[in-house]
Chain A
C-alpha cells in the first residue's frame, strides 16, 4: 500500500503566521491527493482535493500544491480556528491511505 509521510509532526505557530505542511508519498499518486482538517472531538473536514483545489466553503488562505510524490499545504495568516490536525490522504490506489497527521498548535 502507499505510505504517506507527513512532516513535521507538530508545528507551533502564532495566529497571523503562515504554516507549511508537507506530505510525501512512497510512490506516485499523480494529483490524487486530498487534505483533511480535524479538530478535537470532530470528524475530519475536506479541505483540498486533487492536490490543489479547495473544497466548497474553504477560505482562500488555504492553498496546496504538488504532484507525484511531494505535496505541500500552506495556510497563510493562521486564524484561531485553523489550529488543528491536518491529514493528507491518497486516492490513487487501493487501499486509500492517510498520513499520520501534522498538528498545528498555538505557540
Chain B
C-alpha cells in the first residue's frame, strides 16, 4: 500500500522560505507525477505544483516565481520550497501521487502557519 507523509516546520516567519518534504513508502517514486496541493483552514483546495519523476515541473501561476518542487529518487522523496511566505500562504499542505486517473494517493497533510 502506497503511503505519503509530509514533513517540515509547522511555523514559518513572514518573508522566510517554507521547505517541506514528502516521503513515499510502499512504492517507487519513479514512473509517476507528484504534486503539492494546499488548503487554507476551512477553505477549498489549490493545486500549486507538480513534478514528474524525470524532473519536469509545472507550477500554478499563483505561486510561480516563488515555488520550486524537486525530487530525489534515491530517497523516494520529493520536496517543496516556497519563498517569501506571507499570511496568505497559511494552509494545510498535502502531497499527492498522480496517475492517469488523477491524484490517487494523498499524504495526511501538514499545517503550515505563517506568523512572526
B-binding residues in A (CB < 8 A):
1, 34, 36, 42-46, 49-50, 53, 55-56, 87, 89, 91, 94-101
Contacts and interface: CB of A to CB of B under 8 A. Distances in A.
B62 A46 contact: no
Q: What range describes how many residues of B lie at the interface?
A: 10 to 19
Nearest to B47: A96
Nearest to B95: A43
A23 B1 CA distance: 31
Contacts of A50: 101
A91 B44 contact: no
A96 to B, nearest CB: 4
B45 interface: yes
Interface SS majority for chain A: loop
Contact of B102 (A1, A56, A89): A89
Interface string B104-115: 101111000000
B44 A94 contact: no
Contacts of A89: 45, 102
| A46, A53, A101 interface centre (most CB from chain B within 10 Å) | A46
A36 B94 CA distance: 14
B108 A46 contact: no
Interface string B37-70: 0000000111100000000001111100000000
B102 A100 contact: no
Q: Which 4 A-B pairs have the closest CB atoms?
A: A43-B106, A95-B60, A49-B101, A96-B47
Contacts of A45: 106
A81 B94 CA distance: 22
Contacts of A100: 44
Contacts of A43: 94, 96, 106-109
